[in-house]
Structure 1
């Protein structure tokens, strides 16, 4: 019972820390964060770049190093792409950033690590120029609780070490995504 209480205190503390980081960077808008409008009929969205699927309002950046909270060059490139894509083609919206880990390590450690990944991703998106018209309304870590792949293989664990960016309340510019 003591372990459960301590774990809850740690998770709550991390959530408060994430909220404080966001409050320093921007005013958070929490209204209607679950609605993803259909793109305008004049907008054709065919996006061939792997991290984002605007149809579902989600970007995924995979492949953190084992026990790594910071991004390597390829993940950083993906975040630069996402910031540029949003700035160029979306008028405004809100983001939720969710960190994940594979199943190696303790639950406590993985919750902390996944939150650190999400916080670092939020900071990097702003460093890479994500406009203030995009509010980051939530930063959370889910540890290894929601794998997207098996944890039985090296490749599966690689895919599970990720951050997800949920795109809410998107207002599209008159633009066209082309699959190259």
Structure 2
């Protein structure tokens, strides 16, 4: 038995490629060649799929979005833990930068010759930038803390607690108690 390659009918393939809405994979299977061979030949000779272009212009199909499985969604506690670790590392980095500020400025001055770059690097390690970084980290930690306790320590919860305290205690905003009946039965 000999494995002789049969000649490829490129004219018929080109006709199917240009004139039908069949996929390239289907055309390749029909003619017993690879999909890549058809794509390569089409690119080389500039074949254009008019039938496919017309059908794609007529109807645009929205891609189907498959949601992530629930098992892949991280738990709130895990995200908060990672956020706190990140904030801790950023605080450590900020502390090291603050402690060695003079050394950083000296390194910048020794190694940089471009005055614009020197100014930009000095600005990056300046006090306002470090203070803003610390403020951002503190805000992130506060938000994570409020999220961790289910929002029980937020502004709404604090207002609710104050309202309950005012209503329940002996303040002027407390609900009036029921009238007391005073009866003297000793007569």
> Quick check: TM above 0.5?
no
Higher helix share: 2
Q: Which has the larger radius of gyration?
A: 2
Interval containing the TM-score (normalised by the shorter chain): under 0.3
Q: Which has the higher contact order (CA 8 A, sep 6+)?
A: 1
More strand by share: 1
